[in-house]
């Protein structure tokens, strides 16, 4: 109804039914602050995505996938480098716990997070200068013993914090398990070399051929450095305690891979090779054995079937494609042969407990089997070599005794990586060692600065329930598959088996991310709000704002938020957002009271004035 030409009495000039102007964002919202219609307030609250929670070093996976999706590769690389010193390495070797946790796995297929990480890592390798710079020098010296994943990570974070870091490595080349435990066809040596160069560019000194306990003593470390990180790893292979295990032709998994990785291998394998063990190292050994010239490789495991093997299913699949045979439910009881291994004596066996680390029960009553072979590679785990460590810092598992901050007693020594994680229930993998190194570096920094140590905060709100997101916004999309070299051509060469994603593929894969529980500035709330109640100066996480004076609490934005980062919180939980109104329409106090006065006085007025 138009008010044109109508004389409005002054007590009616405020908005009133019938003569109210149309609400607009400029003026109408001031006239109709409908915020008090609301009993539920929408609140932007980012939750932890499950990938981030599952990652050993808590990479901000949702964050960098979002940046890749927008084409901001360098920003994505910088974000990944906050937690991970070598995305090009983990992009190749990681057993991706993030992908197992990915919510998309319940919907169609998990995001190929590792492939995108590798794309970013390779981008970083191509840069002339790394995006990460060393921190302002604080004059303190820290020694890091071991240059494997944990040591690398700790040294990297400490250099960023401004410490003068020296890495002590006993091998002729730095890299630790990354070099000695991972074959070239998974992680090419030049990729790792480039990452080691990056450490040197940060001002880190790497001393190779220095072994703690032999060239450097515990007291040297204590006296020459302000603090020390022990990331020595597990160096000694476990034996299977079979008769005649010392015969020629019996090899151990990690030394076998290490010698090949360091280029010092003198091993010549025979035609028939047996690998003992069912884990990831055993798989790497079996595949490496093919590349070292073996014609037939058989893997003998105590596990009764492939599903029970503590190995990554993809790697197991690739190994079987390359032609490795599996032989389950057997344990080696003796190595037969005259000076050199000629055959193995096998007995049926099983694990006595539910987990693969439990003791093995061997059925010695059953008839022994003979398995002919030319070489045996035993890959049944490793244990540490800690003769140099003072006895007080050893625990009953034979590893280093630490408190929950990775610290050895009250000393300035810290320990990280496999050396502390063995037997702790955590799977031993590169990314867990990297995360351990990172956390220990930050704890060390706090100790040297005299700040109190705080335990890791446990994420309380990990979004793992798809019902908390609006799945109608996510069409089904297949996962982008990384190309593999064909099994027949790859099984005899050291060429990398898995090929990297192209730029288009990486963007396509990153676009599949749900962004679980985290605002990715999709603008959906801004568009669906029936009133213009959501303001944002720019499309970015953190810049969206609910105009609480006007929001009626209709919940449309909450229901329609694809990622589930918008939550409805009872209005009474907030002290703020109070909009005092007389009625839904009148905003000036006493409007209807004044009307009542007019009505009361009607009788006193002369008739012609009414």
> What are the residues binding another protein (CB under 8 A)?
17, 35-40, 552-555, 568, 570-572, 575, 577-585, 589-590, 592-593, 595-596, 599-600
Burial class (CB in 10 A: 0-12, 13-18, 19+), 288: buried
If the CB atoms of residues 312 and 581 are measured against another protein, the closer one turns out to be: 581
- Nearest approach in angstroms of CB 26 to another protein is 23
CB of 56 to another protein, least distance (A): 36
Q: Could you tell me the two tokens for 72?
A: 């901001």
The nearer residue to another protein, 32 or 544, going by C-beta atoms, is 32
| Closest approach of another protein to the CB of residue 581, in Å | 5
Q: Give 54 or 565: the residue with its C-beta nearer to another protein.
A: 565
The residue among 36 and 541 lying less far from another protein, judged by its C-beta, is 36
- Quickly tell me which residue has 């190595």 as its tokens: 335
Q: Which of 22/599 has CB closer to another protein?
A: 599
Cα–Cα–Cα angle for 60, 66, 67, nearest 5°?
Answer: 90
Q: Are 286 and 259 in contact (CB under 8 A)?
A: no
Q: Which is nearer to another protein, 397 or 555 (CB)?
A: 555
Contacts 24+ apart (CB under 8 A), 449-455: 453/405, 453/407, 455/404, 455/405
- Angle among Cα 462, 466, 469 to the nearest 5 degrees reads 90
Min CB(567)–another protein separation in Å: 9
Q: Which residue blocks in 268-311 are alpha helix, DSSP H?
A: 280-291
Q: Closest CB to another protein among 13 and 224?
A: 13
**Alpha helices per DSSP H over 393-546:** 418-421, 430-449, 487-490, 503-511, 524-528
d(CA 574, CA 572): 5
Closer to another protein by Cβ: residue 200 or 596: 596
In the chain, the N- to C-terminal Cα span, in Å, equals 24
- Write the DSSP string, 359-376: PEEE-TTSPPEEEE-SEE
Residue closer to another protein (CB basis): 36 or 238: 36
CB of 278 closer than 8 Å to CB of 301: yes
Nearer to another protein, 137 or 593 (CB): 593
Please tell me the distance from the alpha carbon of residue 584 to that of residue 374, in angstroms, as a whole number. Answer: 90
CB of 597 to another protein, least distance (A): 9
For the CB of residue 33, give the shortest distance to another protein in the complex, in Å: 10
**Residue 55 CB partners (closer than 8 Å, separation 6+):** 61, 83, 97, 98, 431, 435
The nearest distance, CB 473 to another protein, in angstroms, is 19
Task: Compute how many other C-beta atoms are within 10 angstroms of the C-beta atom of residue 421.
Answer: 21
Beta-sheet pairing, 343-351 with 360-362: antiparallel
Beta-bridge mates of residue 212: 216
Work out how close the CB of 357 gets to another protein at its nearest, in angstroms, rounded to a whole number.
Answer: 46
Are the C-beta atoms of 143 and 155 separated by less than 8 Å? no
Report the nearest approach of another protein to the CB of residue 547 (Å).
Answer: 15
Of 35 and 337, which CB lies nearer to another protein in the complex structure? 35
Give the nearest distance from C-beta 589 to another protein in angstroms: 6
How does DSSP assign 101-147, residue by residue? H-GGGGTS----HHHHHHHHHHHHHH-SS-S--PPPP-S-EEEEE--
Q: How far is the CB of 37 from another protein (least distance, A)?
A: 4
| Dist. CA 500–CA 92, nearest whole Å | 9
């Amino acid at each position: 109804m138009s008010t044109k030409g109508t004389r409005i009495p002054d007590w009616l000039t405020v908005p009133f039914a019938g003569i109210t102007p149309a609400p607009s964002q400029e003026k109408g919202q001031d006239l109709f602050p409908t915020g008090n219609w609301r009993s539920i307030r929408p609140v932007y609250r980012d939750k932890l995505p499950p990938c981030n929670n599952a990652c050993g070093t808590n990479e901000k996976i949702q964050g960098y996938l979002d940046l890749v999706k927008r084409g901001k590769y360098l920003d994505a690389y910088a974000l990944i480098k906050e937690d991970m010193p070598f995305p090009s390495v983990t992009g190749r070797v990681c057993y991706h716990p993030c992908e197992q946790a990915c919510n998309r796995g319940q919907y169609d297929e998990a995001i190929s997070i590792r492939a995108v990480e590798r794309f970013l890592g390779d981008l970083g390798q191509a840069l002339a200068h790394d995006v990460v710079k060393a921190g302002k020098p604080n004059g303190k010296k820290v020694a890091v013993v071991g240059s494997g994943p944990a040591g690398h990570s700790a040294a990297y974070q400490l250099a960023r914090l401004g410490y003068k870091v020296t890495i002590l490595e006993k091998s002729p080349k730095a890299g630790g398990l990354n070099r000695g435990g991972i074959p070239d066809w998974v992680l090419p040596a030049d990729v790792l070399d480039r990452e080691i160069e990056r450490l040197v560019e940060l001002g880190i000194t790497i001393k190779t051929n220095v072994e703690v306990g032999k060239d450097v003593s515990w007291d040297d470390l204590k006296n020459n450095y302000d603090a020390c990180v022990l990331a020595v790893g597990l160096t000694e292979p476990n034996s299977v305690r079979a008769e005649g295990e010392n015969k020629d032709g019996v090899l151990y998994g990690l030394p076998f891979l290490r010698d090949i990785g360091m280029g010092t291998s003198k091993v010549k394998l025979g035609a028939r090779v047996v690998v003992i063990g069912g884990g990831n190292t055993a798989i790497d050994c079996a595949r490496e054995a093919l590349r070292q010239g073996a014609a037939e490789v058989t893997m003998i495991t105590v596990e009764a079937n492939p599903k029970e093997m503590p190995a990554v299913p993809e790697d197991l699949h690739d190994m079987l494609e390359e032609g490795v045979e599996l032989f389950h439910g057997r344990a080696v009881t003796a190595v037969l042969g005259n000076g050199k291994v000629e055959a193995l004596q096998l007995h049926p066996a099983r694990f006595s407990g539910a987990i693969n680390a439990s003791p093995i029960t061997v059925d010695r009553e059953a008839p022994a089997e003979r398995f002919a072979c030319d070489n045996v590679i035993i890959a049944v785990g490793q244990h540490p070599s800690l003769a140099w460590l003072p006895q007080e810092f050893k625990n009953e598992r034979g590893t280093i005794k630490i408190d929950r901050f990775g610290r050895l007693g009250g000393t300035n020594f810290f320990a990280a990586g496999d050396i502390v994680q063995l037997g702790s229930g955590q799977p031993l993998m590169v990314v867990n060692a990297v995360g351990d190194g990172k956390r220990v570096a930050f704890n060390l920094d706090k100790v040297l600065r005299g700040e109190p140590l705080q335990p890791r905060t446990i994420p309380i709100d990990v979004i793992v329930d798809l019902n908390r997101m609006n799945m109608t916004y996510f069409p089904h999309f297949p996962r982008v598959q990384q190309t593999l070299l064909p099994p027949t051509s790859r099984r005899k060469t050291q060429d990398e088996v898995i090929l990297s994603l192209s730029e288009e593929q990486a963007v396509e894969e990153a676009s599949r991310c749900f962004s679980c529980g985290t605002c990715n500035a999709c603008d959906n709330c801004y568009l669906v709000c029936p009133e213009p109640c959501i303001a944002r100066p720019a499309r970015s996480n953190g810049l969206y704002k609910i105009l609480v004076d006007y929001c009626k609490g209709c919940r449309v934005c909450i229901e329609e938020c694809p990622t589930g980062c918008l939550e409805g919180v009872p209005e009474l939980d907030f002290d703020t957002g109070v909009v005092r109104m007389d009625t839904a329409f009148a905003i000036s106090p006493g409007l209807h009271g004044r009307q009542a006065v007019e009505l009361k006085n009607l009788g006193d007025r002369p008739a012609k004035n009414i």
